[in-house]
Every structure is written in structure tokens, then in C-alpha cells.
């Protein structure tokens, strides 16, 4: 029977395998079998026959990792309870289990794991090459992690390949581990705002000490602080030591800190930090617990920082600055790009750019985290300054080639507007240098900021604007944003084509409070970078346009509308009909009463054209934007001013529509006698901007909605109204509180008549009507 400590080591291995993407279950559900379980697998039952360590029986490896079909062994794992027995674990993994697989015609990776979480874990991996077991390496050093399934397959497919790069676990794995880290710190009474710095300190300590930290409670916190002090001192940043340390007097933390170190080691943070901004990502994950804005900053997702480095085509000769660098995400994105494009070793890439990455951060804890982050990346003499970019005496005016930044959002601890950060960043650049900056939508669309935009274009050129996904900063912030790319020192010509792009999908989606990889892998970022660099035009995604003076910079104004595909329209119509149905289910009783009042002439419905004045009639018909557009088929009106404020109107039987996304736009039921005769389309201008619905009941419409009526001389089937509303909904990304939805802006949306699609939608509407009319039957008395 195995000793308890050996079982604990095996539990650690299960966790490590899960982190690396191995499904812990026997085939066909998973790819991992333990000990004698291989005996039940056809084709593998005799794999270790007569190969026990003593040579007298069958062998039973702790873990056998299999191919996706469960037919081939890919790796064997031997565990030992104590770190001192690591060499023995590797020997048995290679020369007992690995050799047995080789003799049966299966090449495998041999993995040894030794130790306990509380004393430290050692991991190694080898493969058989030219008759000799050789270590798998990263940057000429043995790897200290278990390879992923895909990496294992790659290693085995090429006899000469022994090099491997660390990978980052899936976001949901990181979120799960962050949950546990947060729980440990909470139970140790560490306040929300100090938890990221505690994690940063322990990551830096692991890096500096190469994992050689004493884990018992009387030493562990002292060792963490000592290692951090040494790292900052070596990096010439001794003054930041007090900003990144742990409380040595916290007895509860001292008793559980070993577990934090074990979690960080299981995530391979020390090695993987070379290839990934672990500290930044964990910091972002901790925002869930701190409310996202404890120090007035929202940190930029790392795939966006890399995209912006690509947009500016950062190369090894460029001097790069981030005037508000947070935890250093933009600088790390540049470092990663230079490493990949230069095709040199990581250490050589560090040496190439050591004096070319500059960052300013005035918030002490964040500055310390940023320095720690750069040290973790191998930049021991980091160019991060704990200072304000506005007052720093060493600010590099006119010296930089590229500036990348995400200015702090408005916050009680800073009253500096984003405009000032943009201007300061431009000051740092040489002529023809490039700035890529994330700005809130209000700055690129509001008329009140038009003078500032005009001022910027007097001396600089607007190269591109890329609208980012609405949920990019969620769940921490809901602001909509865009990347603006400027070229310094070249006055913007009104004849110059600026590239405008809309990124709908960035490869991630919001799920349970975290952004995780999309199941469908949709990611517009590579295409967006190509569109900017090559001025590609793709309706609905990218376009070029001339911009002058104080005009808005919003992609929604310049990306040409696409003709939606039939499948896109079907999906949008389906969502529309489900909202339509929700109204009748929720308000069946009220609809029945409304219809009764109409039938008995208690209430009357009047065509809207007869309710408005001549000037409004004339204006409504002037929005036509050519053939195959919304404007060709509909007249566009504003809603009823009488309903601008519903205060003081008592409850009644009349349906009132307002700019809400719920229940087909239903606001409620009031005493109101100026009802509009259906059918028609309503479109929200405020509130749930762009939500379009088809109204099939007489109703009053608030003037924060537009009303679309089919042209008098060109009547349309009801299906066309649903299709038109579906098309408008597909284009609602163009509008927000800074960029208002107006008749002129939606009339040009493309709408091509398609009789077969109309017939299909018509049949679907008929089906829904039959179902929904049944909900009213009970109330018809």
C-alpha cells in the first residue's frame, strides 16, 4: 500500500495534468490511466508485462497518458514523495516505463515528478533520441513542466525536436486558481487592494530564488521579502521595495503562504512569464474581487496590447514608451513581438531592447508590480519609472519611435483627462513616430470634443481607428472603446484615407464573470491588423474615408454597410420573434383588453401620417439613400412628443412603446388616446440604442424612438418589416450614447428584397401568430 505522502504527490500530478489540458479520465472520456488501469485497454494490456522494477512481474506506472483515440501511449509519469528522490523518479520513468514502451514500438515522453507542495515540487521530461534519454528543453534549459497533449504529439512526431515553449493555461483554469488564491488571502485578512501586490511579491520571490524558499511558517514570509528586495536592488529599483512586500507579522498568512507558492508553481509562472504576462493576467483576474478600479485603472487585455504593437509594426530598433504603463502590458506586448519577429533567443531579444522600453507609472504599488513584471520577463535593468509622465524630469521629449497607451479612465483619484495623456504621448515621439491609444467612444464622437480632435489633426495624421468589442473590459468596466492610431508631425490632409475597422470578435467571450476562449474560435484581430496595414475594404468590417477638422472618428460612421447574409437575417429574425412572443406571453391580458377597447371604439388607432404635420411628412420622405436600402422602402419619423415624459399619465389600457429591449419595446400601459395604427417598426434612439421591433398592436410611441412606415406607394408584406427590423438590429453596433441613432444614419443600411426569404419568414410569422393567439383566448370574454 502506498504511503499517504505518495498519494499527495499523485494528487499534485492530477492538478498539473488538468492545468496542462489533459482530461483526467479513462478512454473514451479522457486520456489518462493510472497504475493497472492500462490492463483493461485493448492493445495495451501487455505493454508492461514482466517489466516491474524488480523484474519479477508486470510494471504499473503512476500515470500513462494516451493519444486522443486511446490507442497509443504518449507519456509515462513516475512520482516520488520527496524532492530528493527526483533523480530516481526520472530514472524509473525513462529506463523502466519509457524503455518498456519503446520495446513495444511506442515512443513516449518520460516524466518524473517528485516532492510535496509544502516542500517544493520538481518536474522533468525526457525523450529517447539516438538510443539515449535526453531532457526536453526551453531556451537550452530542461523544462520544469508537464507538456500539453499537443506539445507531446509534436515532440514525438519529430525525432530531432527536443525544444519546447511554455504555454499558458486556459482562462477558466487561471480564474479557478485565482479564486483559490483570493480565498487564501481573504482568510488571511489581506484587504482587496493589497492582494495583487502579495501575489506579485510571491511571484517575484519565486523567480529570484529559483523556487528555493523555505516553506515553514517561521521563515516563508521573511524569505519572500528578502528575495523581492534582492530582485529590486539588482534591478536598480531599491526604492520600490516597500511597495511590494508581504506582512511578516501576519501569522495566518505565514501558515498558508506555502499553498500560494504551490499554486503559482503549478501554473509554471516563473518559466512561463518569459512567454506570457502572467502577473498582468492574474492581476486582471483579481479585479473581480476588488471591483475593478481600486487604483483608478483598468488594465488592457494582453491580446489587445499585442495587437497595438502589431499595428505600429514595432521592431527591434524602435524606442517605445507607455506614459501610463500600469503593470507593463504594452511594453511586454512589444517585447513579445520583437522576440518573435527577430527570430533570436529570448535572452538575446532582451539584450537588444534593454534600453528601448520606457514606462511611467505614478501609483506606487502598480509601479512596483510593473517593475516586477519586467524582471520576471528577464529585463533585470528595467526602464520603468515610478513617476508621473507629466512631471518627470527625464521624460524623453521627441526621442521615441512608438507610444502605446491606455490612459486611466476618469476616477476620483485622478482628474487628468485622456486628452492630456494623448498630447503628452505625442510629445515623446519623433516626427513620423506612431501613437496607438485606447480612447472612450465619447472622445471620438462627441461634438463638444470636436475642437480637440481638430487641434490634434493640425499637426498629426489620423491613420486608423479600430472599434473594440463592447465587452472587452467587462466585467470590470462597461465603457465602449476604440484604438486610435496617429502619426506625429504630419498635418492631416482632408484628402488622406483613414482606415476604420470594427472588431466584433476578439477570440474571447464573457462567461461567469471571466472572459474565456470562444468555442467557435472567432477572432477578428489578425484581419483587423491586416486591414489597417493594407487599407483593406470589407463592408461591415473595414473601410477607408477622409476625415477633416472636428468630424467624428467613429468607425460606425465610415465602415460601409454590408449586405447581411440570409443566415444572418434568419438568426436576427429569430431573436426578434422571440422578443415579439415574450410580449404577448407577458401581456396577454392587457393585449386582449386593448383589442376589446379598439373593437368597441373606446380607443381608436390612426395612421401615423395623418397624425403628423406637413413638415414632418416632407422630412420623413427625404431620407431615401438609393436602391436596395432601408430608405428606399420606408419613411422615417420621430415618435410622439406627448410621450417624452410619462410622468403624470395614469395607468390605462393603451400600449406605450419606449427605447427598451424588453417585451418588444413595451414600456407599460397608460391612459393615452393617440394610438398609431400598426404595423410599423420602432427603433430605440436612446436607452437600448438600435433595438428595433415590429409593432402589430395599436400603440403610442415615445419620441426617443424612430417610427418606420412602409412607403405609401410600395406596400410591403409583414415579413419585410421583420426583415428590415432584423437588418437594423445587425447594424446597432454603430451607435451608442456618444453617437446618436438618427434617420439619416440608418436609411442607408442595405436591404435587398428576397422573395424566397420573405416567404420563409412569412411562414414563421404565421406559425407564431397561431401560437400567440392561443395565449389571448383565455382572456377573450
Mean pLDDT within 658-682: 96
Can you tell me the distance from the alpha carbon of 32 to that of 30, in angstroms, rounded to the nearest whole number? Answer: 6
Which pLDDT value is given to residue 399? 97
Can you tell me the distance from the alpha carbon of 620 to that of 632, in angstroms, rounded to the nearest whole number? Answer: 12
Mean pLDDT within 323-338: 89
Which pLDDT value is given to residue 84? 92
Mean pLDDT within 23-41: 91
Which pLDDT value is given to residue 298? 56
Name the least confident of 64-73, 267-276, 466-475. 267-276
Using one digit for the tens of pLDDT, what is the confidence trace for 510-550? 887 677 788 898 999 999 999 999 999 999 999 999 998 88
CA-nearest of 394, 452, 445 to 418 is: 452
Rounded percentage of the chain residues whose pLDDT exceeds 90: 63
Q: Are 166 and 274 in contact (CB under 8 A)?
A: yes
- Which comes out higher in pLDDT, residue 335 or 695? 695
Q: Is the pLDDT confidence value at 477 over 70?
A: no
Which pLDDT value is given to residue 223? 96
Using one digit for the tens of pLDDT, what is the confidence trace for 264-310? 888 887 776 666 666 666 666 654 444 444 444 557 888 999 999 99
Give every CB contact of residue 519 below 8 A, 6+ residues apart in sequence: none
Rounded percentage of the chain residues whose pLDDT exceeds 70: 93
- Which comes out higher in pLDDT, residue 421 or 372? 421
Mean pLDDT within 81-107: 94
- Residue labelled with grid coordinates 514606462: 359
Give every CB contact of residue 362 below 8 A, 6+ residues apart in sequence: 386, 387, 388
- Domain range summary for the chain, segments of one domain joined by +: 4-165, 168-291, 566-777
Q: Is the pLDDT confidence value at 392 over 80?
A: yes
What is the average pLDDT value for the chain, to the nearest integer? Answer: 89
Which pLDDT value is given to residue 315? 93
Q: Beta 651-657 vs 700-701: how paired, if at all?
A: parallel
Q: Which residues of 719-741 are buried (b: 16+ CB within 10 A; e: fewer)?
A: bbbbbbbbbbbbbbbbbbebbeb
pLDDT band at 1 (very low <50, low <70, confident <90, very high): very low
Can you tell me the distance from the alpha carbon of 429 to that of 398, in angstroms, rounded to the nearest whole number? Answer: 5
pLDDT band at 132 (very low <50, low <70, confident <90, very high): very high
pLDDT band at 344 (very low <50, low <70, confident <90, very high): confident
The set of cell numbers assigned to 626 is 438609393
Is residue 553 helix, strand or coil?
A: coil
Can you tell me the distance from the alpha carbon of 326 to that of 363, in angstroms, rounded to the nearest whole number? Answer: 8
Q: Say whether domain 566-777 belongs to CATH 3.90.220.20.
A: yes
| CA 151 to each of CA 61, 101, 279, 622, 727: distance values in angstroms, whole numbers, following the listed order | 21, 19, 24, 62, 44
Mean pLDDT within 217-232: 94
- Which comes out higher in pLDDT, residue 355 or 55? 355
Mean pLDDT within 187-215: 89
Q: Are 144 and 267 in contact (CB under 8 A)?
A: no
The reported pTM is 0.81
Can you tell me the distance from the alpha carbon of 493 to that of 459, in angstroms, rounded to the nearest whole number? Answer: 10
pLDDT band at 330 (very low <50, low <70, confident <90, very high): very high
Can you tell me the distance from the alpha carbon of 343 to that of 560, in angstroms, rounded to the nearest whole number? Answer: 38
CA-nearest of 481, 406, 415 to 443 is: 481
Q: Is the pLDDT confidence value at 118 over 90?
A: no
Name the least confident of 145-154, 404-413, 421-430, 573-582. 404-413
Given its phi and psi angles, is residue 498 left (phi above 0), alpha (psi -120 to 50 degrees) or beta? beta
Amino acid at each position: 500500500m502506498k504511503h499517504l505522502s505518495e498519494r499527495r504527490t499523485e494528487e499534485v500530478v492530477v492538478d498539473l495534468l488538468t492545468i496542462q489540458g489533459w482530461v483526467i479520465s479513462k478512454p473514451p472520456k479522457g486520456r489518462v490511466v493510472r497504475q493497472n488501469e492500462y490492463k483493461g485497454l485493448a492493445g495495451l494490456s501487455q505493454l508492461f508485462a514482466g517489466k516491474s522494477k524488480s523484474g519479477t512481474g508486470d510494471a504499473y506506472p503512476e500515470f500513462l497518458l494516451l493519444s486522443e483515440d486511446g490507442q497509443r501511449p504518449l507519456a509515462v509519469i513516475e512520482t516520488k514523495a520527496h524532492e530528493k528522490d527526483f533523480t530516481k523518479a526520472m530514472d524509473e520513468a525513462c529506463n523502466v516505463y519509457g524503455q518498456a514502451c519503446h520495446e513495444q514500438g511506442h515512443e513516449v515522453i518520460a516524466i518524473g515528478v517528485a516532492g510535496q507542495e509544502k516542500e517544493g515540487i520538481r518536474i522533468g521530461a525526457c525523450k529517447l533520441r539516438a538510443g539515449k534519454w535526453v531532457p526536453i528543453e526551453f531556451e537550452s534549459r530542461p523544462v520544469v513542466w508537464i507538456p500539453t497533449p499537443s506539445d507531446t504529439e509534436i515532440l514525438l512526431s519529430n525525432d530531432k525536436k527536443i525544444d519546447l515553449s511554455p504555454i499558458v493555461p486556459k482562462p477558466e483554469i487561471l480564474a479557478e486558481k485565482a479564486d483559490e488564491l483570493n480565498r487564501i488571502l481573504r482568510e488571511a485578512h489581506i484587504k482587496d487592494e493589497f492582494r495583487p501586490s502579495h501575489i506579485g511579491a510571491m511571484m517575484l520571490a519565486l523567480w529570484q530564488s529559483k523556487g528555493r524558499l523555505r516553506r515553514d511558517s517561521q521563515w516563508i514570509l521573511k524569505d519572500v521579502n528578502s528575495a523581492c528586495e534582492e530582485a529590486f536592488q539588482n534591478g536598480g529599483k531599491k526604492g520600490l521595495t516597500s511597495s511590494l512586500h508581504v506582512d511578516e507579522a501576519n501569522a495566518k498568512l505565514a501558515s498558508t503562504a506555502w499553498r500560494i507558492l504551490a499554486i503559482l508553481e503549478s501554473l509554471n509562472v516563473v518559466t512561463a512569464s518569459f512567454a506570457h504576462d502572467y502577473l498582468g493576467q492574474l492581476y486582471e483576474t483579481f479585479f473581480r474581487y476588488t471591483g475593478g478600479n481600486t487604483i483608478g485603472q483598468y488594465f488592457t487585455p494582453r491580446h489587445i496590447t499585442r495587437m497595438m504593437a502589431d499595428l505600429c509594426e514595432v521592431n527591434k530598433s524602435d524606442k517605445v514608451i507607455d506614459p501610463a504603463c500600469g503593470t507593463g502590458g504594452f511594453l511586454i506586448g512589444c517585447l513579445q513581438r520583437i522576440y518573435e519577429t527577430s527570430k533570436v533567443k529570448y535572452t538575446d531579444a532582451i539584450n537588444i531592447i534593454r534600453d528601448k522600453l520606457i514606462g511611467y507609472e505614478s501609483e506606487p504599488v502598480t509601479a512596483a508590480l510593473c517593475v516586477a513584471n519586467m524582471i520576471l520577463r528577464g529585463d533585470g535593468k528595467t526602464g520603468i519609472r515610478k513617476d508621473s509622465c507629466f512631471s518627470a524630469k527625464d521624460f524623453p521629449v521627441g526621442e521615441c519611435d512608438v507610444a502605446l497607451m491606455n490612459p486611466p479612465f476618469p476616477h476620483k483619484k485622478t482628474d487628468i483627462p485622456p486628452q492630456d495623456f494623448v498630447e503628452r504621448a505625442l510629445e515623446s515621439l519623433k516626427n513620423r513616430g506612431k501613437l496607438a491609444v485606447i480612447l472612450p467612444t465619447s472622445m471620438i464622437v462627441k461634438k463638444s470634443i470636436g475642437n480637440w480632435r481638430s487641434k490634434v489633426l493640425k499637426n498629426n495624421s489620423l491613420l486608423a481607428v479600430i472599434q473594440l468589442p463592447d465587452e472587452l473590459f467587462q466585467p470590470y468596466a462597461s465603457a465602449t472603446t476604440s484604438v486610435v492610431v496617429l502619426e506625429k508631425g504630419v498635418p492631416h490632409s482632408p484628402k488622406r484615407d483613414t482606415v476604420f475597422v470594427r472588431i466584433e470578435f476578439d477570440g474571447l467571450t464573457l462567461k461567469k464573470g471571466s472572459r474565456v476562449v470562444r468555442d467557435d474560435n472567432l477572432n477578428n484581430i489578425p484581419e483587423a491588423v491586416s486591414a489597417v496595414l493594407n487599407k483593406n475594404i470589407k463592408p461591415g468590417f473595414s473601410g477607408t474615408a477622409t476625415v477633416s477638422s472636428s468630424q467624428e472618428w467613429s468607425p460606425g460612421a465610415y465602415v460601409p454597410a454590408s449586405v447581411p447574409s440570409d443566415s444572418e437575417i434568419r438568426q436576427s429574425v429569430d431573436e426578434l420573434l422571440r422578443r415579439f412572443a415574450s410580449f404577448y406571453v407577458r401581456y396577454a391580458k392587457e393585449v386582449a383588453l386593448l383589442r376589446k377597447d379598439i373593437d368597441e371604439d373606446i380607443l381608436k388607432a390612426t395612421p401615423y401620417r395623418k397624425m403628423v404635420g406637413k413638415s414632418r411628412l416632407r422630412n420623413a420622405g427625404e431620407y431615401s439613400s438609393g436602391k436596395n436600402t432601408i430608405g428606399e422602402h420606408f419613411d422615417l419619423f420621430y415618435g410622439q412628443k406627448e410621450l417624452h415624459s410619462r410622468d403624470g399619465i395614469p395607468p390605462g389600457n393603451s400600449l406605450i412603446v419606449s427605447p427598451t429591449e424588453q417585451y418588444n419595446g413595451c414600456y407599460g400601459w397608460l391612459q393615452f388616446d393617440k394610438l398609431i395604427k400598426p404595423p410599423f417598426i420602432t427603433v430605440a434612439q436612446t436607452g437600448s440604442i438600435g433595438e428595433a421591433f415590429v409593432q402589430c398592436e395599436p400603440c403610442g410611441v415615445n419620441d426617443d424612438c424612430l417610427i418606420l412606415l412602409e412607403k405609401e406607394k410600395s406596400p410591403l408584406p409583414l415579413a419585410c418589416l421583420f426583415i428590415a427590423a432584423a437588418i437594423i438590429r445587425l447594424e446597432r453596433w454603430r451607435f451608442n450614447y456618444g453617437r446618436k441613432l438618427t434617420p439619416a444614419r440608418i436609411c442607408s443600411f442595405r436591404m435587398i428584397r428576397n422573395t424566397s426569404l420573405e416567404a420563409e419568414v412569412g411562414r414563421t410569422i404565421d406559425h407564431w401568430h397561431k401560437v400567440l393567439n392561443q395565449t389571448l383566448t383565455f382572456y377573450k370574454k
